[in-house]
Structure 1
Amino acid sequence: MLLTKKSNSVHGELAQRAGSSRFVHSLSRGLSGALPTMDRRAFLRRSGMGVGVGLAATQLTLVKKASAATPGAGDGTGKIEVKRTVCTHCSVGCAVDAVVENGVWVRQEPVFDSPINLGAHCAKGAALREHGHGDFRLRYPMKLVNGKYERISWDTALNEISARMLELRKQSGPDSVYVIGSSKHNNEQAYLLRKWVSFWGSNNCDHQARICHSTTVAGVANTWGYGAMTNSYNDMQNSKCALYIGSNAAEAHPVSLLHMLHAKETGCKMIVVDPRFTRTAAKADEYIRLRSGSDIPFLFGMLYHIFKNGWEDTKYINDRVYGMDKVKEEILAKWTPDKVEEACGVPEARVYMAAEMMAKNRPSTIVWCMGQTQHTTGNAVVRASCILQLALGNVGVSGGGTNIFRGHDNVQGATDVGPNPDSLPGYYGLLEGSWKHFAKTWGVDFDWIKARYASPAMMGKPGITVSRWIDGVMEKNEFI
């Protein structure tokens, strides 16, 4: 009875909107139970209609909420534009279509033809619009006056900050100011910040990739020359086996797991190695619990079984890898199954199983994130992961490689061209030749840039990293 009453109310509204009594009559029969059966096509058609009405109501609510900021927005008379952008929550880089009406971001849609997010949002991405419309977002410069914040103009803020910085530079030199960039800056912003700091006359600049993935950059670059993810998210659908070690993608990079789930539908095996049983582990074919911080013994334990059973790609190693014979010699001598189990707590059978799955289901990929890098041995863990993939011949092939899930949406770009204390954009370093190249690129005289620094020696000396900036504040200069 309740269903009939509710249905009749909905039917009346639909009839008024659609202007078709036959349409409403047909829908009434289906919803009221007059039809004894419902075929699959009718069910999907009517279910889709119900979902569509619900979504339309949701979007209308968003438009109404946003329209208060701009008169005329949301009533259908304003100018509507669709701006394609990128979600800034994590490193997946989901594409988003922002619907803008009269200059107001009124709603958003995931991009359905994006090869990254495949028309999907995670819970964080679905709230992206709130970054620009949150109730607690700071919209204007504020200055602390007598214990209370007061609103000031942009001109006032820029002039006061600039004057204060110039005063500090005059009193204590260019290195008295420390600049922290962001891995949420796009490439152009990151590049411009490094350029600005160079013109200021200091190398004291950095960004948060120093904390999250500097070990990855060093470890991967020192293994095969460039510190970056070798494949792409959607390429994981070409993998036959994936080893997640140090990554809880289901929570940290939710949309990325879509590609893994699609891969599983076509037979890809999934192994998760983690001290905790995570939401990612819940999707795995095999979950292996190891002692925290013992990633290297586990990876070397896998390599032991790979070498012992002849599963390594000998042709690939012969053609492309230098020094693997030394690695093999050390692993077979020192990382026997009993030593591995003693170090990481994983029984030999489980380590053997992981090695066999990766070796016999190629191309196979390895995924890591903060779980590997946030260790005092992070650099070595990264190199062990790279060595595993080189032994299996999985580098440089579709469906293989090292899928290194970053923390923020532009960790890689900011690292490549951004405010690094030990290099100019593109890892050019701080030697005189590098400076001369960029002086020409920037259209300024090399001697002018050199004069901006406290001394010529400081121009070629790396600045303080973001993890040690506190030393520059607290320690005496002679100890830094």
Structure 2
Amino acid sequence: MSQPRPIGDQVRTTCAYCGVGCGIVATRTGARAVEIKGDPEHPANRGRLCSKGTHLGETVGLEGRLLHPIIGKRRASWDKALDLVAKRFKQAIAEHGPDSVAFYVSGQLLTEDYYVANKLMKGFIGSGNIDTNSRLCMSSAVAGHVRAFGEDVVPASYDDLDAADLIILVGSNTAWCHPIVYQRIRARCDAGAKLVVIDPRRTETCEGADLHLAIRPGSDVALMNGLLAHCREAGLVDEAYLAASVNVPEGFWDGVGEGSDLWSVARTCEVPAADLRRFYELFAAHPRTVTLFSQGINQSIRGTDQVNAILNLHLATGRIGKQGAAPFSITGQPNAMGGREVGGLASSLASHMDFAPENRARVQRFWASPTIAPKAGLKAVDLFRAMGEGRIKALWIMATNPAVSMPDAGAVREALARCPFVAISDVIAETDCTPFAHVRLPATGWGEKDGTVTNSERLVSRQRALFEAPGEARPDWWIIKEVGRRMGWPGDFAYARPADIFREHARLSAYQNDGTRLFDLGDKVAIGNADYQTMPPFRWGGDPFADGRFPTPDGRARLVAVSQMPLPAPLANWPMTLNTGRYRDQWHTMTRTGLSPKLSRHREEPLVEVHPEDAAAQGLEDGGLARVSTPQGASLFRVQFSTGQRRSEIFTPIHWTDRQSTGGRTGLLPRPLVDPHSGQPGFKSTPAKIEAVAPAWRGFLITTEAMERPDCLWATRVTVPGGMLFELEGDGDAQAIEAKLPRGERIESFDRARGSHRVAVMRDGRLVAALFRTERGILPRREWLVEQLGQAATAALLAGAPPGAREDRGPIICLCFDVGLKTIVAAIGSQQLTTVEAVGAALSAGTNCGSCRPSIRRILEENRSAANG
């Protein structure tokens, strides 16, 4: 295991968040403290970081960490915990066969962790039942790549963005979810490239786009087939390329042309025909086109067909294998790609091999394993369904939280409760899954882990340790190999360090490959330990398909016939369509980002975004509460009016869990319906309804001390400097909340006319907690009161504000420099600012990570419109 770096040392590592894979220069400044900067030498980001990466240093503390093995509710030794996991898995296999056990893993794992887990399950236990939460975000891209190219190869790099003349973003709020890629796109657009955004929502990514197509959810195949039919009519199909490099199935063009005239496509997609024609014209005029697609394409029960509709378009027009021309799947997790490389998906074996007999035999020979999985295993949704039916007897969850993130998460919890044995490896002591765990194993987290990750453009980078492992935490690869040794295979899992695993992974990628697969790390098979430690980022696969050859038996790509399925009519009892997704400054279920006071400021509560006309029809108030219901469940959200929403559609974030909120549990709501090819769930289009909720009182609580979430109708928790902030609303008596305030001297005030009660709790003359509650009155702003936590008491505490005027900055727009909306608006007016660059020069806003630049651009446009009357 790697040694921690001395204080003051600079360490080059890779960010813990999205698939952009940004390089970081980290300087350890204390026992659990680090200074974070972008790595100017890393090709993925060239020194830039988004807000999440910039504030990684706020998330490396030990709050909430799992530091010791736990059996049941009691601390245990590593030997006892590992022996129990091995025993229960062996017992289940002996009694019910290898398919009675499963691993559910994560894109948070490093490639070396993933490799050992896949080897243990598929090569030694002999089952395909290892799947990953990456199934939920990019498996349709994998299936589409394999159908078209013969292998899961992303045929693009970020360098293609610098050469493109047209960039198309499909189903991706890139400005929020991949901010550094978006900044690269904006730089290219500033140099003259055109930008088209295809998304049902008008998001920040649409600001500054040349065209936004707010298509109906699920109509992507119609859109892409319509464009392809137009290309054929206009003579834009590259017949020479097709003849040399692509197989076209019989009847393909007839299928593409059916219902693909301009007006039919416009009706299906519910966009103006003039906008659709403009899209066709832009595509025709700019052969150097990069089409980036993400969850809006993948997270659909037709996701694979939607991917192939995009790939068909690029193959048929020859816009692939050329600089600035490619389809580009951008992944969500830091190592989703690494998991794909080593067989982390139940549908693949290892090193981009499937379960064909010759591949099974090859991998078994390489591993010298006693068995090999005979077939693909259960994909995520099917895996938990099988568990609920009693077919899975032992499950090991690694670095993920399916009780929150899976669709129909209520049923997933029921399945976990039924499973006879559940082991969890995690960095966090208490998650929504831990109540179901029989054994908890403490894993190392970012800053402690050592290994490799692969980003969206096939770039392999090192993650390096900054700190020693806290408590008894151990790397995931070590935990897995120790279980493998205890299950009877000590010599096959005798790894001493990540470099040992990486070398084996590289050897397998090259073993009897002979050019049949592009994934080949043969030049790394003999890398020494020292060279592994200093290994710079590298991209495998070269320039895929530049020679017009593909990793298929005949060397040719394949057009895949796909057709637009009929789109369902709204249901009488479920008239809305629910879309789900990410926020800019949060990550997954907030176990890391939730620790950062800075990151918590962007969206402090889970919002349901709804068009104002729909809100009026449902009696919703902007800032009020609403219950979103689907046939799977219901959860509360704070209402936010948004004209960027299409009518009859609503949007909620994926991040909130029972640990942070009584509401906002989006995972409860989507249907457990999946794409038939990829098994990826359709998170983007769930029938739903929304109704107003009117609590009797509302309030907030700030405290310096850790405390359980208050028990009331609405209670959401965020981290603030010096403590926690809870936003509260309730129906009944609030005395139970007041009774749980920290001990100390209380100062109280009552306003019976407004039904208001204010309480400040002091200890040694300093504020440790404050509760403000009202039935009809106005609540003070939180910022000044939060600043008083831990400070000496002032007479103004119960007033909620200091004497005299205090600047109201409004909602924070620029997280990096703490600049609010009202500050920006005032500067625009007083200084006659007209560009994003001018705002940056005046206030610094938008000059660091750039994540807020779309918001600043929108503020400028709104201010310009208001000035013009």
Relative to the length of structure 1, the TM-score reads 0.75
In structure 2, the CA distance between the partners of 1:156 and 1:476, relative to structure 1 (3 Å rule), is: closer
Change (3 A) 1:431 1:357: closer
CA contact (8 A) 1:417 1:425 kept: yes
Shift of residue 371, structure 1, vs aligned partner = 0.2
SS in 2 for 1:283: coil
**How far 1:110 sits from its partner (Å)?**
1.0
Q: Deviations over 1:111-158 (max 9, x none)?
A: 01222112111111123234432522323333433xxxx443333332
Match of 1:266 among 186, 191, 195: 191
Q: Which amino acid aligns with 1:308?
A: E
1:265-320 per-residue CA deviation (whole Å, 9 max, x = no partner) reads 22110000111101111131111111111111111222232222223333333333
- Structure 1 counterpart of 2:78, from 146, 154, 173: 154
The secondary structure found in structure 2 opposite 1:178 is: strand
- SS of aligned partner of 2:72: strand
CA RMSD of aligned residues (A): 2.5
Report the counterpart of residue 704 of structure 2 in structure 1.
none
Q: 1:331 to 1:171 in 2, by over 3 A?
A: closer
| CA deviation after TM superposition for structure 1 residue 466, in Å | 1.4
Residues 312 and 449 (structure 1 numbering): CA distance in 2 closer, same or farther, change over 3 Å?
closer
Mapping for residues 92-103 of structure 1, pairs under 5 Å: 92-100=20-28
The alpha-carbon deviation at position 325 of structure 1 amounts to 8.3
Offset, 1:244? 0.8
- Once the two structures are superposed, the pairs formed by residues 7-406 of structure 1 within 5 Å of their partners are 79-100=7-28, 104-145=32-73, 150-197=74-121, 198-323=123-248, 326-406=251-331
Structure 2, gaps ≥5 residues long: 393-869
- Residue 409 of structure 1 and its aligned partner are, at CA, apart by 1.4
**Contact 1:239–1:365 (CA under 8 A) maintained in structure 2:** yes
**Which structure has more helix as a fraction of its residues?**
1
Cα 1:259–1:326, aligned 2, differ >3 Å: closer, same or farther?
farther
Name the SS for the 1:98 alignment partner. strand
Counterparts of 1:431 and 1:321 in 2: how far apart (Å)? 23
| Bigger radius of gyration | 1
Query: Contact 2:259/2:265 (CA < 8 Å) preserved in 1?
Result: no
Q: In the aligned structure 2, how far is the partner of 1:462 from the partner of 1:420? A: 9
371-380 or 432-441, which moves further after superposition? 432-441
* The one of 422, 428, 442 aligned to 2:353: 428
Q: Is the 8 Å Cα contact of residues 98 and 125 (structure 2) preserved in structure 1?
A: yes
- For residue 260 of structure 1, what is the amino acid of its counterpart? I
Letter in structure 2 aligned against 1:299: M
Check conservation: 1:304, 1:335, Cα contact below 8 A.
Answer: yes
Q: Which segments of structure 1 move beyond 4 Å, counting only runs of 4 or more? A: 101-105
Given that 1:306 and 1:356 are in contact with CA atoms closer than 8 Å, whether structure 2 keeps it comes out as no
Closer/same/farther in 2, CA of residues 305 and 204 from structure 1, 3 Å limit: same
Query: Which stretch of structure 1 is more off in the superposition, 159-168 or 357-366?
Result: 159-168
> Who is 1:470 aligned against?
384
Alpha-carbon distance in 1 for matches of 2:52, 2:108: 15
Post-superposition shift, 1:334? 2.8
Contact map agreement 1:242 1:358 (CA 8 A) in 2: no
| Structure 1 Cα separation of the partners of residues 324 and 249 of structure 2 | 22
Aligned residues: 388
> For residues 226 and 426 of structure 1, what CA distance do their matches in structure 2 show?
10
Q: CA deviation at 1:179?
A: 0.6
State whether residues 367 and 403 of structure 1, in contact with CA within 8 Å, keep that contact through their aligned partners in structure 2: yes
Contact 1:193 1:418 in 2 (8 A): no
Distance 1:226 1:262 in 2: 32
CA contact (8 A) 1:245 1:272 kept: yes
SS in 2 for 1:280: helix
Q: CA deviation at 1:396?
A: 0.5
- What is the alpha-carbon distance in structure 1 between the residues aligned to residue 111 and residue 383 of structure 2? 24
2:229 partner SS: helix
Confirm or deny: 8 A CA contact 1:131 1:137 kept in the other structure.
no
CA change 1:361–1:107 in 2 (3 A) is same
Deviation at 1:419, TM superposition (A): 2.8
Q: Give 1:19's aligned residue.
A: none
Q: Identity rate of aligned residues, in percent?
A: 28
Matched with 2:404 is none
CA deviation after TM superposition for structure 1 residue 385, in Å:
0.5
Is 2:371 aligned against 1:449?
A: yes
Deviation, 1:388, is: 1.3
Change (3 A) 1:440 1:320: closer
- CA contact 2:32–2:60 (8 Å) conserved in 1: no
With the length of structure 2 as denominator, give the TM-score of the two structures: 0.42
Q: Residues 32 and 61 of structure 2 are in contact (CA less than 8 Å); yes or no, is this contact kept in structure 1?
A: no
What are the superposed Cα offsets for residues 16-42 of structure 1, whole Å, 9 maximum, x if unpaired?
A: xxxxxxxxxxxxxxxxxxxxxxxxxxx
CA shift at 1:100, angstroms? Answer: 2.8
Counterpart contact for 1:303–1:355, Cα < 8 Å: no
Letter in 1 for 2:353: Y
Equivalent residues of 1:206, 1:466 under 8 A apart? yes
SS at match of 1:244: strand
